[in-house]
Chains A and B, each alone.
Chain A
Amino acid sequence: MSDVRTVTVERRLPFAPAKVWQALTRPHLLAEWLMQNDFVPAVGHHFQLRGEWGGVLDCEVLIVAPEKTLSYTWNHAHADAAYDLRSVVTFTLTPADGGTHLKVEQTGFRPGQNQASGGAKAGWRRFLEKLEQLLARE
C-alpha cells in the first residue's frame, strides 16, 4: 500500500467549535481561507474548489457532523498520471479549553511515483510565495 499517503496537520484555535464550523462550511468564508467554491454542507453534494493557479478540484461531501466532522473527496483529474490525484480530506473539531483543536487529514491515492521535477519545483515556489504574502499581511 505504498501508494496511499496521509498528511495530518493539527492546530489549536482560540475560537469555539461553532465558529470554526462556520468558517469551514459557509462558502464565502471558505473562499477567504481555502479556495473559491460552491460548497453546500450536505452529504452527496458535488462541488468544486477553484485554485488561484487555475486548477479545479472535484469534490463530493462524504460526512457532515456539525461542529465535529466534515469530510469530502479532493480529486484532481489529470491526463498525466503524475499529476492525477484522488484523495479524501477530513476535518475533525474537538473542543479544547474554550477553543477548538482542529485536525485536517488528507489521504491521497496515487500511482507510486513522484511528480516531474519541474512541476514540483513550481509547486514549492508558489507555496513559498504564498507564505510570504501571508506573513506580509501580519
Chain B
Amino acid sequence: MPHADDRLFRTLADPTRRAIFERLCRDGEQTVGALTARAKVSQPAVSKHLGILKEAGLVRDRQDGRQTHYSAQPGALAPLIDWTGRMTGFWQARFDKLEDLLRRMDQ
C-alpha cells in the first residue's frame, strides 16, 4: 500500500493537476477541451495530467463518439483521509523540509 499512497501524494502535489482534479470534483464530468479552456496550460499538457490522474485512480474516462469525458473519483482520496495515509504524507512532506534545511546548513 505505501506504493499506492506515494503515487496519490505525488499526483496531487502538482498544483495544475490538483486544479484539474478540483474542477472535476466541483463541476462534474468534462471533456479535455472544456478543461483546457479553463486551465493555464496547453491541451497536450492537460491530457498528460489527466493520464496521470487516471493512473492514480483519481479520474475515470468515458468515450462518447470522438469526445472523451473525464470525471473525478473522490473515493480514491480515502488513503488521505485515513490516519495512516495522512501521517505518511505528513512525514514525507516534513522530510522534504528537513532535506531542504540540511542543504542550506551546508552553505
Contacts and interface: CB of A to CB of B under 8 A. Distances in A.
Interface stretch (B37-45, B46-54, B60-68, B86-94): B86-94
B27 interface: no
A78 to B, nearest CB: 14
A15 B11 CA distance: 28
A120 B81 contact: yes
Contacts, number: 92
Interface size class of B (residues with CB under 8 A): 20 to 34
B83 A102 contact: no
A120 B100 CA distance: 28
B94 A20 contact: no
A131 B15 CA distance: 9
A121 interface: yes
B87 A106 contact: yes
Interface string B1-32: 01000000100111100100000000000000
Interface string B70-107: 00000001001111101111111111111111100110
Interface of B: 2, 9, 12-15, 18, 77, 80-84, 86-102, 105-106
24 contacts: A7-B88, A7-B91, A9-B88, A9-B92, A15-B102, A23-B101, A29-B105, A102-B98, A104-B91, A104-B95, A108-B87, A114-B81, A114-B82, A115-B83, A120-B81, A120-B86, A121-B81, A123-B81, A131-B9, A131-B93, A132-B13, A132-B18, A135-B14, A136-B15
